[in-house]
Amino acid sequence: MKKCVLIMNPESGKKHKITTYQDFYDILRKYGYDTDIILTKGPGDANKIVQGLDKSVDLVISGGGDGTLNEIVSGNLKREKPLVIAPLPLGSTNDVGNMYGLDHSVYENLEIVLKGKAKKIDICYINEAPFVYVACLGDYIDMAYATPRSLKKKYGKIAYILYGMKQIRNKIHQYNIQYKIDGETHIGRYSFIFITNSSRVAGQPDVYYDVKLDDNMFEVILAPATSKKEILKLLVYVSTMDVKDIPGITYYRTNNLEIDFLDKPKTSWCIDGEEYKVHTDHFVFRVEKNMKMQVPRESADTLFED
């Protein structure tokens, strides 16, 4: 029998209240897995758990939100030989899970993943920190990690809106940056920076119409919005057209990017929904393909080249 470890964040999300784990054991046994379920106890715990797993484990399931998945992937990449990871979305937003079509009940999602395919996936890095789907910077971005967990558990996605209303700023910060991409150096002033490896970001599906998760590339968006009115206009554009065609947006698809901030950022980067605290103004982005993700078969056919 194959070996599976389900690492579950009991604090994730609102709608998936797990009262018994027997159904997980039963479903996994049906698919040929002998399973251990390990509950995380706090931030960073999932990272340590996956690093300490035996090399005989055939599948590691991330039961939690996008932040939990990031922890597990980050820990997995520290192993000499990374294990196969599968997402089981239990969080409030679940951008990664929704991108893969995992928007059903938790038990349906589990079966869909177990019927899926293990695919080599691009993992992006900001300096030495890996991220699965997004690294971003700008006003209101901190809602992803600063919204109190108690609000997220009580209200789900609405919690971000409630918290965001309290954080509305009269002035939109802009950043003077110098960036080098594909051998060319540019200087610009931008309010929002997004580096992504996903078709879905911040709850918005189909941000890109042709993204592939194994093409050794990531997408870059630089936006110069200077007012809340311009931000709202951008959000409307994002929901109705391909990002590449939005007026005023600077867009790239690349696998090498360096950014130097000429003004010190007033907020932290957000990577996969969590705060990324660093004491540097120099950021290098790259992509590597050194682990496998088990994903639904339909997503494997549409989101992957190979």
Looking at residue 149, what is its pLDDT?
59
**Alpha carbon distance 139, 169 (integer Å):** 8
* CATH number listed for the domain at residues 2-124+290-298: 3.40.50.10330
Looking at residue 171, what is its pLDDT?
73
Residues 6+ apart with CB under 8 A from 281: 260, 261, 264, 265
For 125-138, what is each residue's pLDDT tens digit?
A: 999 999 999 999 98
Residue 185 zone, left/alpha/beta (φ > 0; ψ -120 to 50; rest) = beta
Is residue 93 predicted with pLDDT exceeding 60? yes
Looking at residue 205, what is its pLDDT?
72
Task: Give the least confident one: 66-80, 90-104, 155-169, 178-192.
Answer: 155-169
Span 109-135, average pLDDT: 96
DSSP bridge pairs for 223? 192
Confidence at 19, pLDDT banded by 50, 70, 90? low
Span 68-90, average pLDDT: 97
Is residue 15 predicted with pLDDT exceeding 70? no
The better pLDDT of the pair 296, 173 is held by 296
Domain boundaries of the chain, sorted by first residue: 2-124+290-298, 129-288
Can you state the percent helix, strand and coil of the chain, rounding each to 5?
Answer: 25, 35, 40
The better pLDDT of the pair 167, 301 is held by 301
CA distances from 157 to 12, 94, 143, 198, 213 (A): 12, 10, 11, 19, 26
Span 19-42, average pLDDT: 94
For 181-234, what is each residue's pLDDT tens digit?
A: 999 999 999 999 999 999 887 777 777 778 899 999 999 999 998 887 887 788
Span 42-46, average pLDDT: 93
Confidence at 82, pLDDT banded by 50, 70, 90? very high
Is residue 59 predicted with pLDDT exceeding 80? yes
* CATH number listed for the domain at residues 129-288: 2.60.200.40
Span 259-284, average pLDDT: 90
The better pLDDT of the pair 64, 210 is held by 64
Span 82-105, average pLDDT: 91
Span 244-262, average pLDDT: 93
**Alpha carbon distance 133, 75 (integer Å):** 16
What is the rounded average pLDDT for all residues in the chain? 87
Looking at residue 159, what is its pLDDT?
47
Span 84-105, average pLDDT: 90
Range list of H helices, the chain: 22-30, 45-51, 66-76, 95-99, 106-114, 143-146, 149-155, 158-166, 228-240, 297-303
For 139-195, what is each residue's pLDDT tens digit?
A: 877 655 555 556 555 545 554 454 555 555 557 889 999 999 999 999 999 999 999
